[in-house]
A and B are shown apart, each in its own frame.
Chain A
Amino acid sequence: MNNTNPLGATSAGTSSGKPFEQIELRIGGMTCPHCPPAIEKAIAAVPGVTSVHVNLASNTARIRYGPARTKLADVLQAIRAIGYVPGTATLRIPIKNMHCSSCSIRIELALQMTPGVVHAWASLGTNAVDVEYDPETVDFGAIRQAIEQAGYHVAEPKLKNQADLLDPAEAALEDEYRTLMRKFWFAAVITIPVIALSYPDLIPGLRDWMPMGSGTRRVVWALLGVLSFPVMAWSGSQFFSGMWNALKHRAANMHTLIATGITAAYAYSVVAVAWPEVFPDPKLAEVFWDVTDVVVALVVLGLALEIKARGRTSQAIKKLIGLQAKTARVLRDGKEIDLAVEEVLAGDTVIVRPGEKIPVDGQVTTGASAIDESMITGESMPVEKVARDEVIGGTLNKTGSFRFRATKVGKDTALANIIRMVKDAQGSKAPIQRVVDTVSGYFVPSVMILAVLAFVAWYDFGPEPRLVFSTIVFVTTLIIACPCALGLATPTSLTVGIGKGAENGILIRSGDALQSAENLDAIILDKTGTITRGEPALTDVVVIAKGQAENEILRLAASLERGSEHPLGEAIVKGAEARGIGLAEAEGFAAIPGHGIAGRIDSQDVLLGNAKLMRDRGIATQSLEADWERLANAGKTPMYVAIDGKPAGLVAVADTVKPDSKAAIEALKALGIEVVMLTGDNERTGRAIASQVGIERVLSEVLPEQKAHEVQKLQLEGKTVGMVGDGVNDAPALAQADVGFAIGTGTDVAIEASDVTLIKGSLFGVVTAIEISRATMRNVRQNLVGAFGYNVLGIPVAMGVLYPFLGILLSPLIAAAAMAFSSVTVVTNANRLRLFAPKRIA
């Protein structure tokens, strides 16, 4: 149905208010010649549409409609309803001064009045407006103009993307670090004179100048108290606000402990200076300003260092986010234009020059180049790309210029998926963390109880001066306990470990998967596509007659196969090309289904096919049968070649083993893991491949739907089983396995059924994943043992349990130092994982 007026007759009006508007919509998913009529029919059925013309070549629909009667949204809906993708783009634009719901309505209205904007949703929750628009009619500039004309401002010149999401958080952390360091220096400067003057009895000159009980001492100490007050009130302010915020929720945290401790020390000192007469013994009238100051200074320094160290744990994800291109050069209406990467649509032709980043995912249409994909796949060698090859957004074009058709943009790109998956995984919890969670829920109140118990015990049974000892012990116990070290132990290691995986092209989906991968007993490898390449390749050429070159047989076979579209034929042609053999034209080509092919090349009759074909044509093949048997036993597919009615030789193709599969399987065995091969092939073919790569246990002739069952059978042997497969056909088996490893190809990384996705197709990814898992879990355990051990040993010592036996009592100053650096130590240990390097053979 082509109910158009001649296109020239339509007046192209784009401003609203005119009786007709004409727009050009990009339509995705048109692959066949009968698509355009179907789309035209659907669009024309929308009320108010006066004409429609769909152009298959440019993938566009030109639509003329009356804006009074037609909403663009209805047109898009009609296109969607019949299964095509209208090429609108959706943008999220942050708005600066949107405060009330009437604002959001006004912005929505303003945008919806703009020609080309299909829909706008403003949300106060996100302080942003989502705009769906037709990019052929309106661009970001016009949308921005519409927002500004309505009296609002776009919050930042940049469009919101993943990178911008991180920036404010980063800036906030940097700010916090600087504030903490200023607080530290302030406290440190005051601490020095306070320490010196707090112990006049130890310093000869001071002892005489301000003897115990003298007025001078009282005045000096009062001045120290005045000096120390801002240290507590400003440098230590976060402890009090943190304690208060938690108390409102009837919860306690590190801040509660520190704030209580320093307040106790400060309050005691105030009493000692202001009302020394309340103490029965003048010796009791001591001051602990130094404790307050030192604790504040050290703990604040510890917090600052921890922020720095924690920033480093998420370096991997920052690197990934930094990979995203900002702009893309796109061909629109025959012109090359630079666009923000968010405005690139699926179906656009993107132009990439040497040294540029590839902005989105796509398929090369023209040109060729070498592309550095190491940042995504971990593969260090640049990959050659020609027409029809996939390119991944975020990778770096090295040598040549090329054009590609964008297939995945925005949130759908491989890189965006990787970032999302890594973030989710880093935020997930390893099962081991649940134990810690339970403990940390009770930790702080328990410490407070222990501190009170220690105070009472020292007061009731301790040596004189009892009040001083009980106060010191109370403060020390509160200060030394470090819930942070406990809380940080697992998440920081997990963040680094999962980030490390991403750096090596391994996406670990959750902390659960990471922990399970540590204890795998057995791994099942699906043969096709996992151990092998998954596509046939030429392996052998056998020559019967002396004097005939292998290459000649291959030349004839390949020249003949050039006409066929059989995958085995393609393998032979590729094999010949790889050997640099020039192919000839075949005349009288004939395919004999189920048997082979025949034709004339360079005035020779050439036959290529199976034994039945040879028998039918009366060609004796006895002399080749031994070779045929040998090749077939090795799991290959041999084919006879006959020239002018005489047997000439064999060419064999087979699904070949990936070059590093054997080494990877050896490495798996070296990790103490049983390797099992699973295949749908018969026993003989399966064994042949298995022996090549050194696998003893083969499960052959397994139907696809039985794969999950085979995994279960192995699990019933009491083993923790990993399964490696392609993620599509093997999804149930991957899900059944304790850890499912999906071998990804190119841009398809979001494989739902898998626990681990290997972006690069190599089996070594499995080895590296297990190594990362083991290294990370080892690191987690070190951290947990360290943090638990620190608290389990430190708290009793602080309470003074060693005093009756060894006379050891911890100074609160030492406790403060220990506490401040225990959490820094945990984070630093986690950062050590960043040095992890996979043992791999390049």
Chain B
Amino acid sequence: MSPDRLSVTIAGVLLIAFIVWFFWFKRSKGTRAAETSGGYQEAMILVKGGYTPDTIIVRAGRPVRLNFRREETAACSDKVIFADFQKSADLPTGETVPVELMPKEPGEFSFACPMGMFRGRLIVE
């Protein structure tokens, strides 16, 4: 194998390894929702290219209010779906939309845009 071929092959393998690591081996620690005087566990989520933060930790048995604020116009993200809670909300650009949930059981529940390109997790303890 000529040196240029060898170097292209090695670069390719390294690039693939990087792609796998970068996109698939991420683990976010998650943000704990703040407890308000009203008994709600609240968190603010920014919708821009993804959900920031994308992992919210809450406690079971207490109502949760997630305030979504979308700051982009990409068609994909105009809705957020909590499939496990049978809930969804429209997210008009620039508006804060509260989504209220009542997690009864501990577990991990995902939320996503209708096309599943944006994903987030609600961890119930």
CA distance A520 to B73 in the complex (A): 40
Chain A hits for B73, CB < 8 A: 172-173, 175-176
Summarize B's interface: helix, strand, loop or mixed. Answer: mixed
**A125 near B67: Cβ-Cβ < 8 Å:** yes
Beta-carbon contacts under 8 Å, B53-102 to A: 54, 67, 72-76, 78-79, 81, 83, 86-90, 92-96, 98
- Kindly provide the distance from the CB of A452 to the nearest chain B CB, expressed in whole angstroms: 5
By a CB distance below 8 angstroms, the chain B residues around A442 are 24
A530 within 8 A of B: no
- Please pick, from A242, A424, A459, the residue contacting B86 in the complex, using a CB distance under 8 A: A424
Which A residues are CB-close (under 8 A) to B78?
169
CB distance from A751 to the nearest CB of B (A): 15
Q: What's the least CB distance linking A632 to chain B, in Å?
A: 48
Within 8 A of B (CB), among A168-209: 168-169, 172-173, 175-176
Chain B, interface size: which category?
A: 35 or more
Where chain A touches its partner, the secondary structure class is helix
Q: Does the CB pair A242–B9 fall under 8 Å?
A: no
Q: Mark B5-46, 1 if CB is under 8 A from A, else 0.
A: 100110011011001101110100000000000000000000
B16 touches A169 (CB 8 A): no
A343 at the interface (CB under 8 A from B): no
Distance A440 CA – B54 CA, assembled complex (angstroms): 17
Question: Which among A29-37, A484-492, A730-738 touches the partner chain?
Answer: A484-492
Establish whether residues B50 and A487, one from each chain, have CB atoms under 8 Å apart when the complex forms. Answer: no
| Contact of B81 with A251 in the complex, beta carbons under 8 Å | no
- Interface contact A483-B86, CB-CB below 8 Å: no
- B residues in contact with A126, CB < 8 Å: 96, 98
Cβ of B48 within 8 Å of any chain A Cβ, yes or no, is yes
Q: Does A436 contact B (CB under 8 A)?
A: yes
User: Which of these, A169, A253, A448, contacts B19 with CB under 8 Å?
Assistant: A448
Q: Please report the C-alpha to C-alpha distance between residue A484 and residue B94 in the assembled complex, in whole angstroms.
A: 24
Asked if A719 is an interface residue, CB under 8 A from chain B, the answer is no
Q: Which residue in B16, B51, B115, B118 is a CB contact (below 8 Å) of A484?
A: B115
Interface string of A640-658 (1 = CB under 8 A from B): 0000000000000000000
Say whether A245 faces chain B, with CB atoms less than 8 Å apart. yes
Confirm or deny: A367 has a beta carbon within 8 angstroms of a beta carbon on chain B.
no
Whether A488 and B115, one on each chain, are in contact in the complex, defined by CB atoms closer than 8 angstroms, is yes
CB-based nearest B residue for A243: B49
Kindly supply a per-residue 1/0 record for chain B positions 112-125, scoring 1 wherever the CB is within 8 Å of any chain A CB and 0 otherwise.
10111111000000
Cα of A486 to Cα of B115 in the assembled complex, Å: 8
Chain B residue nearest in CB terms to A169: B92
Residues of B within 8 A of A465 (CB): none
- B75 smallest CB distance to A (angstroms): 6
Interface residues of A in 115-145 (CB under 8 A from B): 125-127
Instruction: Give the distance in Å from the alpha carbon of A437 to the alpha carbon of B75 in the complex.
Output: 17
Q: A176-B75, A427-B81, A455-B12 are in contact. List 10 more A-B contacts (CB 8 A).
A: A241-B49, A252-B23, A427-B87, A427-B88, A427-B90, A428-B86, A445-B20, A452-B19, A460-B5, A460-B9
Give the 4 A-B CB pairs with smallest separation, nearest first. Answer: A245-B49, A427-B88, A487-B115, A249-B50
A–B Cβ pairs within 8 angstroms, 29 of them = A125-B98, A127-B95, A127-B96, A168-B92, A173-B73, A242-B49, A248-B50, A249-B51, A251-B117, A251-B119, A303-B75, A424-B86, A424-B87, A424-B88, A427-B81, A427-B87, A427-B90, A444-B23, A452-B12, A452-B16, A455-B8, A456-B8, A459-B8, A460-B1, A483-B115, A484-B76, A487-B76, A487-B114, A510-B86
A residues near B (Cβ < 8 Å) are 125-127, 165, 168-169, 172-173, 175-176, 238, 241-242, 244-254, 303, 306-307, 310, 423-424, 426-429, 433-434, 436-437, 440-442, 444-445, 448-449, 452-453, 455-456, 459-460, 483-484, 486-488, 491, 510
